[in-house]
Structure 1
Amino acid sequence: MGQFTRNTILVAFVAMSVSTAYAFDLDIRGEYRTGSEQYRSRAKIANQWSNNVGASLEAGVFNGQGSLNKFKSDFNEVEGWYLYKPNTAVAFIPGADWTWNTSGSTIKPFLRVNWAFAPTWRADVRARYDHNNYDSVTKWHMPEGQSYSSSNDQWQFDFWLTKWIGDKTAIEYNYAWNKKDDSQFVYNNGHTTQYLHNLKTSYKYMPTVVPYFEVGYLGHTADLNNDQDEWRLRIGTVFTF
């Protein structure tokens, strides 16, 4: 995708959100990964319209390794979804993400279901399939001098459990499980499956300002030769306009 096309999408989405929506969210977040010592940041704008259609635009930045000395585009993502609520407790949310970076683009269709099973509790599940529109190359378990090329698609299954404490504080636990669609590819742990644990706490400082903090365990670092555990620390704020 050309730079002009990307910029057109960004400008059109922001203009649409500001001009037609009654409110939209701006999520600004910073991140640090302990094992690989990487810094990242992200900005995301999202809106849910009155017709139950929602969309978001996300831009990720790589800020350096070992120190904050870079400002390099990491990824960009557009997401769209539709919210269907057969009753007040259950919602079905089909949608898709479209992500692109220097390697190419990825389409990620998903179905998410949430259930408010108690006044201050909610459970969510999501199944998503990530299809890369480009090939990746691996030498994993290949004969000397040979490599293997494929789209390296994967499945991701998520479970969230959210608890509200009063009318300002929320605690959210997320478990994610990934599986390679092609067994020739492996994750950083040397296997075709991996998992993630993430705990998030948010506090409604003001009706339009919600800071949050996350800590996640990602398994091993992004280098197969580095066996350090990777912990991910995030701090951010959601602003509603």
Structure 2
Amino acid sequence: MSFVQVIDCRTTNVDELNRLMDSWAEATKGKRTATHAILGKDRADTSHVVEIVEFPSYEEAMKNSHLPETDRIFREMVAVCETEPSFTDLDVVRDEQLNKELVRRYFDELVNGGNIDVMDELCTADYREHDPSLSSYDLGVEEAKRENREIMEAFRPRAVVESMVAEGDMVSVRFSFTGRHVGAYQGIEATDKEIKGTGHGTVRCAGGKIAESWWNTDDLGLMQQLGVVEA
């Protein structure tokens, strides 16, 4: 279970707090156990500043607290604040990674479910899709739906999400797929051959929807399996 420490403080010198966080990160490089740190300022009260630091566990947080560099930076932080900072220790009982779930829905409902129109729900109105295997490297929603529909009808693919990594508004996904060539694809008539392959995608999310995506699959391997290109 991951652990989060929330530090509340009051200061008008947020820039100095930022400098202290940079100094702490540099001083504890290779020794700190924190995995993620956020500094936020209250919109309603700009002197109210909150720092949120994530750790793999409470025990790892305690190791971090006992580092001499952490103690030094904390004493400097107290000097910058108007009042002594308060600490809230939280055991994480739920951690929803919503952007990952959005990408998983794309695979479950569009790729595996064959529901191309779900793009209208999952994607923003100005969505852009980039894929070198499509007719253009910059497609809007309707164009992407049309070309993805050709792929779905030609191969009836099934995809497996092998791994996903999220950072900020970006999600990187590694996947594998299988299918059968049962319909025309880019001028190639159905061969009834089974196909399989791997791919990677990077997705940018905005406002709970997919705003942009970049895809790369093993297109050469696909053409070889269809007999169009010699192995």
TM-score (norm 1): 0.29
Which structure: greater helix fraction?
2
Which structure: greater strand fraction?
1
